[in-house]
């Protein structure tokens, strides 16, 4: 099974749902929409030849300079039968950070989605227990969003030469 076979089959069945196809370092990567992610994952999971039945990873990402696509979720699925991986990206506006839960297919998505919610504020609609998993419940912000400066500009005790600047 090749990446080309997988993407050709997906484009045939989901022509409007697939965009930005790429193969960095041989890893088939493409973008889809929040409304198509679960049907597409289910298709890959149930496909008799592909059998992408292992969710390797699910994580959030924040691109503050991409209007309308500031937040995203990246899915890594793996066909253990063929030892082939696929990366699927979904982007949405920061003002409406909703995407359907993948726990309907992969039980392992439970904690990964909770972590993505905890750090990025992505709401996984239909998740059985979408609460913070690592940060305190009282936290009212999402720490991995790029909304805060990396350094404290008011500090006077640091020398930029020591930091390679």
Counting DSSP H helices and E strands in the chain, the numbers are: 3, 7
The domains found in the chain, sorted by start residue, are 3-149 (3.30.460.80)
What percent of the chain is modeled with pLDDT above 90? 83
Q: Which two tokens stand for residue 33?
A: 């929409």
- How many CB atoms neighbour CB 146 within 10 A? 12
pLDDT score recorded for residue 154: 75
Burial of residue 140, with CB atoms counted within 10 A of its CB: 0-12 exposed, 13-18 middle, 19 or more buried: exposed
pLDDT in tens, 3-44: 999 999 999 999 999 999 999 999 999 999 999 999 999 999
| pLDDT given at position 43 | 96
Phi and psi at residue 98, in whole multiples of 5°? -120, 140
Contact 87, 74 (CB under 8 A): yes
- Tell me the angle at which helices 3-13 and 37-46 cross, rounded to the nearest 10 degrees: 130
For 36-79, write each residue's pLDDT tens digit: 999 999 999 999 999 999 999 999 999 999 999 999 999 999 99
Q: Is the pLDDT of residue 162 over 80?
A: no
| Partner residues linked to 60 by β-bridges | 73
DSSP string, 85-108: EEEEEEEE-TTS-EEE-STTT-TT
Q: d(Cα 95, Cα 91) in Å, to the nearest integer?
A: 12
Check residue 123 and give its pLDDT: 96
Token code pair at residue 162:
């020591």
pLDDT, tens digit (0-9, with 9 covering 90-100), for 87-138: 999 999 999 999 999 999 999 999 999 999 999 999 999 999 999 999 999 9
pLDDT at residue number 147:
83
> What strand order describes the sheet that includes 19-22?
19-22, 28-32, 84-92, 71-79, 54-62
């Amino acid at each position: 099974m090749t990446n080309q076979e997988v993407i050709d089959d997906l484009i045939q069945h989901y022509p409007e749902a697939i965009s930005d196809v790429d193969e960095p370092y041989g890893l088939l990567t493409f973008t889809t929409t929040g409304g198509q992610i679960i049907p597409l994952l289910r298709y890959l999971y149930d496909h008799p030849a592909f059998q992408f039945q292992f969710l390797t990873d699910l994580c959030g990402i924040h691109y503050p300079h991409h209007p309308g696509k500031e937040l995203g979720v990246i899915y890594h699925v793996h066909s253990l039968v063929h030892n082939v991986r696929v990366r699927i990206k979904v982007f949405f506006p920061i003002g409406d950070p909703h995407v359907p839960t993948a726990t309907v297919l992969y039980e392992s998505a439970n904690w990964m989605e909770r972590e993505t919610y905890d750090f990025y504020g992505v709401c996984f609609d239909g998740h059985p227990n979408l609460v913070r998993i690592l940060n305190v419940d009282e936290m009212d912000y999402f720490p991995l969003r790029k909304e805060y400066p990396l350094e404290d500009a008011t500090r006077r005790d640091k020398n930029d030469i020591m930091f390679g600047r």
